[in-house]
Chain A
Amino acid sequence: MEFRDYYDILEVTREASADEIKRAYRKMARKFHPDISKEPNAEERFKQIGEAYEVLKDAEKRAAYDQLGENWQAGQDFRPPPDWDQGFEHDSTGFDHAQFSDFFESLFGQGRSGGGHAHRQNDFHMQGADSHAKVLIDVEDAYRGASRTLTLKHPQMGSDGRPQLQERTLNVRIPKGVRQGQHIRLAKQGGAGIGAGEAGDLYLEVDFSNHPFFHVEGKDVYLDLPVAPWEAALGAKVSIPTPETRLDLKIPANSGAGKKLRLKGKGIPAKDPGDLYAVLRITLPPADSASAEKAYREFEQASNFNPRASMGG
């Protein structure tokens, strides 16, 4: 397994005081919190930060970690030396260790010192916990429906009474009409029940992947539509893509840049469907040939246009 440099993760020196470590942790936890940060690896960073703090905030764990020595590099292949933590006592209860790395588990995991506590009470029944995951879909999926294969990792009590991460693959139907931030509830696909208790439910939160020209907002969809200056000025009929098909769109004469043309009911389908908006972006042809240059010159002479009239110039 790979060595983890907990000081490096929290960006503190090995000599940092407990207060400095606490401050560094709080600052980084805010910065990389997966509900706040838009960094692509925020969730992974946040877990690492939590794991580093779990060790460094605890004087016993920190001392045990420190005596591994300073010469380890992050990512280096690591095996804990035998009896490396003799004489240290750490409390490994009360935290969700299943989320932590193998490195953490090998040093501070439950059951290392023997005596893991396996629950074997036959008359105890409890419904399993509900669990949550995110599912990333494309805008087209919301129009047609789709299926997605998800691999979920979830902690499960092993036969030795220690929680272990288990992988599970699910094939899930994405219903038509789904929107950003909505949930799909899968009954009894959550945490396993105890005894005769039923399994909990699994909630999937829907998130749209970025699309090169469609943007989803609630049930409305925006299309960024490039047009030539003469199409915007004179009006035109252009063929546009929608997430489900192609349509002809009439551009009225004298349309300015940024004008929104609404296609009612062509947004995300529902009883009360959303709208599709084509937002005009006027694209200028380059003056890269004698004939194009001539056309621009003639245009200049034909019109009395001053783009800076409002600036008094």
Chain B
Amino acid sequence: MNSKKTKLLRGDLLDEDVEMTLAQLCRACELSEAQIIELVEQGIIDPLGPEPAEWRFVSISLRRVRITRNLQRDLGVNAPGAALALELLEQIEELRARLRRLET
């Protein structure tokens, strides 16, 4: 435990070149395959590849899936409701960025 405190850890940056498999996304978000597939069907994330076994996700999917999952778990909304909330949150984020540019 002590050595962990001082050692500098180097991680992998999940940029647009890094893709995740369905299994990796399930693990990282603590969701089942069926739950991820539902998010794909809602258009929250778009996989590359034809079949779930060959699906690849761009790593920004991780953030969208986690927000959707948190909203579903914490607020009891269903998948379409969470998808709508995510869409609106992203719009608010863009507007906030524009507002910051104009205000200062």
Residues of A within 8 A of B (CB): 26, 29-30, 33-36, 46, 50, 129-130, 132, 147, 168-173, 175, 177-179, 181-187, 189, 200-205, 213, 215, 217, 222, 224, 270, 279, 281
Contact = CB atoms under 8 A, between A and B. Distances in A.
B13 A184 contact: yes
A253 B45 CA distance: 46
Contact of B14 (A35, A183, A213, A281): A183
Contacts of A183: 13-14, 59, 62-63
Contact of B28 (A177, A182, A201): A201
B85 to A, nearest CB: 8
B30 A36 contact: no
12 contacts: A35-B71, A50-B74, A168-B4, A170-B4, A171-B6, A171-B9, A179-B15, A183-B13, A187-B11, A189-B9, A279-B101, A281-B104
Chain B contact surface mostly: helix
Contacts of A26: 75-76
Given A129-B30, A270-B15, 6 more contacts: A36-B71, A130-B30, A132-B66, A172-B9, A173-B9, A205-B63
B103 to A, nearest CB: 9
Contacts of A204: 11
B15 A182 contact: yes
Interface string B3-26: 011111111111100000000000
Interface residues of B, number: 33
Contact of B75 (A30, A202, A279): A30
A303 to B, nearest CB: 27
Nearest to A179: B15
Interface string B60-81: 1011001100110011100000
A29 B101 contact: no
A279 B98 CA distance: 12
A187 B14 CA distance: 12
B97 interface: yes
Contacts of A173: 8-11
A170 B75 CA distance: 32
Contacts of A172: 8-9, 11
Contacts of A184: 11-14
B4 A29 contact: no
B15 A200 contact: no
Given A35-B89, A172-B9, A130 B28 contact: yes
Contacts of B60: 181-182
Nearest to A216: B97
Contacts of A29: 74-75
5 A-B pairs with the lowest CB-CB distances in the bound complex, closest first: A184-B11, A186-B11, A183-B14, A173-B10, A175-B13
B6 A185 contact: no
A177 B15 contact: yes
B59 to A, nearest CB: 6
Contact of A217 (B30, B71, B97): B97
Interface string B23-46: 000011010000000000000000
B32 to A, nearest CB: 14
Nearest to B6: A171
